[in-house]
Amino acid sequence: MKFTIKRSAFLKSLADVQRAISSRTTIPILTGIKIVANEEGLTLTGSDSDISIETFIPTTDEANALTIEKTGSIVLQARFFSEIVKKLPEENMEIEVLDHFQTLITSATASFTINGLDANNYPHLPVIDTNESFTLPVGLFKQVIGQTVIAISTHESRPILTGVNMVIENGKLLAVATDSHRLSQRVIPLETSEEQTSKKYNVIIPGKSLIELARTLDDNSSTIEMMVTENQVLFKTENMFFYSRLLEGYYPDTKRLIPDNSATEIEFNAVSLLGAIERASLLSHEGKNNVVKITINPDIVKISGNSPDVGNVQEDLDYLSVEGEPIELSFNPDYMKDALRTFGQTDIKIKFTSPVRPFILVPSENNQDFIQLITPVRTF
């Protein structure tokens, strides 16, 4: 294998592939990046066996200045190899595989010879045995990921809750995540074929995979293809394939958790409420029980936090409207902050039913497709 390439183009592809590579893998060859050169271009692959990312750099795109002088393949230690590529002195570089998988990397008068591994020993990527695919708008899908992954569980005690449940049916994609204390749910419309519309697809994608996927998706690409098999999902963009294993098992039925009535409704600007929650949580973080209390009365709405060792805080809140019963309840301010951040600048409604039942946050406009739910903390 021998090729020359523009370093910046190569680095971008390397960075994407590296997202899949973990230094803590138990399979030594997976600390490496597989590089395959053929007439059409270069294919880079990285994997931690849960996630695999494959990027392609075509010779046809002149911006890459890619010339394949000799086809072939090699596996190079990822972290180390990227460091070398980053620090090379010139804009162009050459890579050549010598005998015994030794690989020569040159740029200007600098040359590195590093030990590579036989690419034939690199694990095969999952086989995606379906032709069915869904087309998702990149921007909207990244939003869905950002809004739901906040609620995945980080504990391995119930592995199924470390994923986001995605259900496609009736021309809609519903994404939901819960760690059993809070829940995030987002619904978006989906263009499906007539055949797909009559079927139901139900998968649980590891939250970690979705977070990495969102990071690799650049906002310039407009759509992404999603293909689902029994135990794998593949996301395809023009020059990248992103594979993730699926979580096996049944996702809990979350519909019944979402209250469908409310006793108190209050409207805030999400950003201004977030500021107040951040202040109130400064003190609760110091104490043993991390809770903030909200009190809604007809004439005043306030939050307060208290940490006996340090002190207490209270703030009258600016709200846009309020209706229903007076209520007072306590919640984990970290859950509230995570939830509020997913709304950006918009105005939101918070709907309470009782001090011991979950309450929900929805956008003031369009309150059907996006819900954040938080379970209060009992303090009595």
CB of 170 closer than 8 Å to CB of 153: no
Please tell me whether residue 289 binds its own copies under the rule CB under 8 A: no
Please tell me whether residue 91 binds its own copies under the rule CB under 8 A: no
CB of 283 closer than 8 Å to CB of 305: yes
Instruction: Select the residue interacting with its own copies from 40, 248, 316, 323 (CB under 8 A).
Output: 316
Q: Which is nearer to its own copies, 25 or 143 (CB)?
A: 25
For residue 356, the SS3 value is: coil
Q: Which is nearer to its own copies, 79 or 200 (CB)?
A: 79
Could you please report the per-residue DSSP string of 108-127? TTEEEEEE-B-GGGSPPPPP
Please tell me whether residue 311 binds its own copies under the rule CB under 8 A: yes
Please tell me whether residue 12 binds its own copies under the rule CB under 8 A: no
Please tell me whether residue 88 binds its own copies under the rule CB under 8 A: yes
Residue 345, C-beta contacts closer than 8 angstroms, at least 6 positions apart: 269, 270, 271
Cα 164 from Cα 174, distance rounded (Å): 10
Please tell me whether residue 279 binds its own copies under the rule CB under 8 A: yes
Please tell me whether residue 278 binds its own copies under the rule CB under 8 A: yes
For the bound state, the minimum distance from the C-beta of residue 30 to its own copies, rounded and expressed in Å, comes to 17
Please tell me whether residue 286 binds its own copies under the rule CB under 8 A: yes
Instruction: Select the residue interacting with its own copies from 233, 276, 336, 348 (CB under 8 A).
Output: 276
Q: Which stretch binds its own copies (CB under 8 A): 64-72, 105-113, 207-215, 340-348?
A: 105-113
Could you please report the per-residue DSSP string of 5-28? EEHHHHHHHHHHHHTT--TT-SSG
Instruction: Select the residue interacting with its own copies from 37, 294, 313, 339 (CB under 8 A).
Output: 313
Rounded to 5°, angle at Cα 162 from 27 and 360:
160
Q: Which stretch binds its own copies (CB under 8 A): 29-37, 39-47, 306-314, 370-378?
A: 306-314
CA distances from 344 to 43, 143, 359 (A): 38, 11, 19
The phi and psi torsions of 345 (rounded to 5 degrees) equal -85, -5
The phi and psi torsions of 5 (rounded to 5 degrees) equal -155, 155
Instruction: Select the residue interacting with its own copies from 23, 26, 109, 220 (CB under 8 A).
Output: 109
Chain contacts with its own copies (rule: CB under 8 A)? 77, 80, 83-84, 87-89, 102-103, 109-115, 275-276, 278-279, 282-283, 286, 309-318
